C-alpha cells in the first residue's frame, strides 16, 4: 500500500526539480552560444539532452558491444558496455552544453557521470516499480514505449542531481 500512495506521490514530485532548475541557474553570459535561449531554457535543455544522450549512448554501445549484463533481475537488457557508453555520451554532451551556456566544460567531468548514473537509477527504479506491480508497461498512452512513466523516469532522478549540482557548484 505504501508503494501505491506515499511513495508514488514522492516519486512523481521529483519532476518539480525541473522547475527549481529553471529558477536556480546562473545567467548565461552575453557572448555564449546559447545566450539567446535564456538561462532557464538553456539549463533545462542541458538536462533533457543529458538524459537523452545517456539513453542513446547506452543503447548504441550496449547493442554493439554489450555482452556482460548487470541487474538482470530488474531490467534484463542492461549491459556494462551500455552503462559506460551512456556515461561517456552524457559527459561529452554535458561538456558541450556547459560551454554553450558560458560555463566551464570541466564541470562535465563530474556533472556528466552524475547525471548519467542518476538517469540510469531512475530507469531502474521505474523497472522495479513495474515489477512490484506485476506490469510489463506503466501505461498504454504511448504504445511500445512502456507508458508515460517510462518516458520521464530518468528525468525524475536526473533533475534533482543536476539542480543540486548547479546550486552547489556552478556560479
Give pLDDT tens digits for 129-167: 666 656 555 555 555 544 555 667 888 899 999 999 999
Q: Which residues contact 57 (CB under 8 A, 6 or more apart)?
A: 82, 85, 86, 87, 88, 89, 90
Which cell goes with 52? Answer: 537523452
Residue 77 or 162, more confident = 162
Contact between 125 and 67 (Cβ < 8 Å): no
Q: pTM for the whole thing?
A: 0.85
pLDDT of residue 2: 58
Nearest in space to 122 (alpha carbons), one of 35, 58, 28, 33: 58
Run of H or E including 45: helix 39-65
Q: How far apart are CA 46 and CA 101, in angstroms?
A: 9
pLDDT tens digits, residue range 23-36? 889 999 999 999 99
Mean pLDDT (whole number) for 67-77: 81
Q: What percent of the chain has pLDDT over 70?
A: 82
pLDDT of residue 145: 47
Nearest in space to 140 (alpha carbons), one of 129, 128, 132, 149: 149
pLDDT of residue 132: 63
- Reply yes or no on whether the pLDDT at 100 is more than 50: yes
Amino acid at each position: 500500500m505504501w508503494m501505491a500512495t506515499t511513495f508514488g506521490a514522492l516519486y512523481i514530485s521529483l519532476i518539480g526539480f525541473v522547475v527549481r532548475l529553471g529558477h536556480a541557474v546562473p545567467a548565461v553570459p552575453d557572448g555564449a552560444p546559447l545566450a539567446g535561449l535564456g538561462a532557464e531554457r538553456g539549463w533545462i535543455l542541458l538536462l533533457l539532452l543529458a538524459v537523452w544522450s545517456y539513453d542513446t549512448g547506452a543503447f548504441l554501445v550496449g547493442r554493439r558491444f554489450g555482452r556482460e549484463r548487470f541487474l538482470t533481475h530488474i531490467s534484463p537488457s542492461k549491459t556494462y558496455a551500455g552503462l559506460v557508453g551512456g556515461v561517456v555520451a552524457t559527459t561529452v554532451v554535458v561538456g558541450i552544453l556547459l560551454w554553450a551556456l558560458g560555463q566551464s566544460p570541466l564541470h562535465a567531468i563530474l556533472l556528466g557521470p552524475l547525471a548519467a548514473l542518476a538517469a540510469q537509477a531512475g530507469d531502474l527504479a521505474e523497472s522495479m516499480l513495474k515489477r512490484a506491480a506485476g506490469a510489463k508497461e506503466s501505461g498504454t498512452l504511448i504504445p511500445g514505449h512502456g507508458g508515460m512513466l517510462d518516458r520521464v523516469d530518468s528525468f525524475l532522478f536526473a533533475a534533482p542531481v543536476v539542480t543540486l549540482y548547479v546550486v552547489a557548484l556552478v556560479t
